[in-house]
Structure 1
Amino acid sequence: MDNTPVSCRQLASYFHLDGKQLQEQYKEHISHFHQWEQREHASDWMRFPQNVGQELSIDETALSNGELYTILTNKAAKGRKGALVAMVRGTQAEDIITVLEGIPQTARAKVREVTLDMAKAVRGCFPKACRVIDRFHVQKLAYEAVQELRIKYRWQALDEENQRLEQAKRSRQRFDAEVLSNGDTLKQLLARSRYLLFKHRSRWSASQKERADMLFYRYPLLGRAYDLAMELGQIFTYCKSKQQAFKRLAIWYNEVEASGIDSFRTVARSVQNHYEHILNFFNNRSTNASAESFNAKVKAFRATFRGVRDTTFFLFRLANIYA
Structure 2
Amino acid sequence: MGYFLKFNRQKKQKKKPMSKLYKSIFNVNGCSVVKQEQTDTTVTITVRLTKGNASRCGCCGRKGKLYDNGREQRVWRTLDLGTKMGFIRMDTYRVKCKKCGVKTVKVPWASHRSGFTDAFEQQVAWAVCSMSKKAVAKQLRIAWNTVGEIADRVWDRLDTRPIKAGCIFRRIGIDETSYKKGHKYITVVVDHDRRCVIWVHEGYGKEVLDLFMRELSEEQRKGVELVTCDGAKWIRSSIEEFLPNAERCVDSFHVVQWATEALDKVRVEAWKEARKENRNQKRGRGRPTKDSVPKDRTAEGIKNSRYALGKAPENLNESQQRKIELIASRYPRLYRAYQLKEELRIILKMGYDDARENLDRWLWRASHSRIGSVKDLYAKIKRNYDGILNTIRLGVSNARIEATNNKIKLLIRTAYGFRNMNNMLSLIMLSCSYVDVKIAYEWESESRESSSKAA
**Superposition TM-score, scaled by structure 1 size:** 0.81
- Are residue 190 (structure 1) and residue 302 (structure 2) matched? yes
Residue of structure 1 in register with 2:133 after alignment: 8
What is the distance in 2 between the residues matched to 1:68 and 1:32? 20
Q: Secondary structure at the match of 1:87?
A: strand
Q: Counterpart amino acid of 2:424?
A: F
After superposition, the Cα gap between the structure-2 partners of 1:173 and 1:67, relative to the gap in structure 1 and judged at 3 Å, is same
What is the distance in 2 between the residues matched to 1:104 and 1:57? 18
After superposition, the Cα gap between the structure-2 partners of 1:33 and 1:161, relative to the gap in structure 1 and judged at 3 Å, is farther
What is the distance in 1 between the residues matched to 2:423 and 2:303? 43
1:212 to 279, 299, 324: 324
Q: Which has the higher strand share?
A: 2
How far is the alpha carbon of 1:206 from its aligned partner?
1.3
Residue of structure 2 in register with 1:150 after alignment: 267
Residue of structure 1 in register with 2:387 after alignment: 277
Q: Which structure ranks higher in relative contact order (CA pairs < 8 Å, sequence separation ≥ 6)? A: 1
Q: Counterpart amino acid of 2:376?
A: T
After superposition, the Cα gap between the structure-2 partners of 1:269 and 1:25, relative to the gap in structure 1 and judged at 3 Å, is closer
What is the distance in 2 between the residues matched to 1:211 and 1:32? 54
What is the distance in 1 between the residues matched to 2:421 and 2:308? 39
Q: Counterpart amino acid of 2:178?
A: A
> Does the 8 Å contact 1:108/1:126 carry over to 2?
yes
How far is the alpha carbon of 1:178 from its aligned partner?
5.1
Q: Secondary structure at the match of 2:261?
A: helix
What is the distance in 2 between the residues matched to 1:197 and 1:153? 13
Residue of structure 2 in register with 1:311 after alignment: 421
Structure number with larger C-alpha Rg: 2
Residue of structure 2 in register with 1:25 after alignment: 146
Q: Secondary structure at the match of 2:240?
A: coil
How far is the alpha carbon of 1:215 from its aligned partner?
2.0
Identity over aligned pairs, percent: 24
**Superposition TM-score, scaled by structure 2 size:** 0.59
Q: How does 1:146-185 map to 2 (within 5 A)?
A: 146-162=263-279, 164=281, 179=295, 185=297
Q: Counterpart amino acid of 1:64?
A: K
- Are residue 90 (structure 1) and residue 200 (structure 2) matched? no
What is the distance in 1 between the residues matched to 2:155 and 2:304? 54
What is the distance in 2 between the residues matched to 1:4 and 1:221? 51
RMSD: 3.1
- Are residue 253 (structure 1) and residue 378 (structure 2) matched? no
- Are residue 132 (structure 1) and residue 249 (structure 2) matched? yes
After superposition, the Cα gap between the structure-2 partners of 1:279 and 1:12, relative to the gap in structure 1 and judged at 3 Å, is same
> C-alpha offsets along residues 184-241 of structure 1, whole Å, 9 cap, x if unaligned?
x223211221011111111101111112111221111111111101111111112x12
Q: Which has the higher helix share?
A: 1
2:313 to 186, 201, 219: 201
Q: Secondary structure at the match of 1:101?
A: helix
What is the distance in 2 between the residues matched to 1:190 and 1:291? 35
> C-alpha offsets along residues 108-139 of structure 1, whole Å, 9 cap, x if unaligned?
22221111111122223222221111122122
How far is the alpha carbon of 1:304 from its aligned partner?
0.5
After superposition, the Cα gap between the structure-2 partners of 1:282 and 1:24, relative to the gap in structure 1 and judged at 3 Å, is closer
> Does the 8 Å contact 1:47/1:87 carry over to 2?
no
> Does the 8 Å contact 2:171/2:192 carry over to 1?
yes
Q: Secondary structure at the match of 2:241?
A: coil
> Does the 8 Å contact 1:64/1:308 carry over to 2?
no
Q: Secondary structure at the match of 1:53?
A: coil
Residue of structure 2 in register with 1:224 after alignment: 336
After superposition, the Cα gap between the structure-2 partners of 1:12 and 1:88, relative to the gap in structure 1 and judged at 3 Å, is closer
> Does the 8 Å contact 1:47/1:99 carry over to 2?
no
Q: Counterpart amino acid of 2:254?
A: H
> C-alpha offsets along residues 43-89 of structure 1, whole Å, 9 cap, x if unaligned?
xxx995557621111111001122122211111233xxxx2222233
Residue of structure 2 in register with 1:112 after alignment: 225
What is the distance in 2 between the residues matched to 1:296 and 1:31? 21
Residue of structure 2 in register with 1:299 after alignment: 409
Residue of structure 2 in register with 1:101 after alignment: 214
What is the distance in 2 between the residues matched to 1:189 and 1:49? 58
Q: More deviation in 142-151 or 187-196?
A: 187-196
Q: More deviation in 150-159 or 297-306?
A: 150-159
Q: Counterpart amino acid of 1:317?
A: L
Q: More deviation in 301-310 or 94-103?
A: 94-103
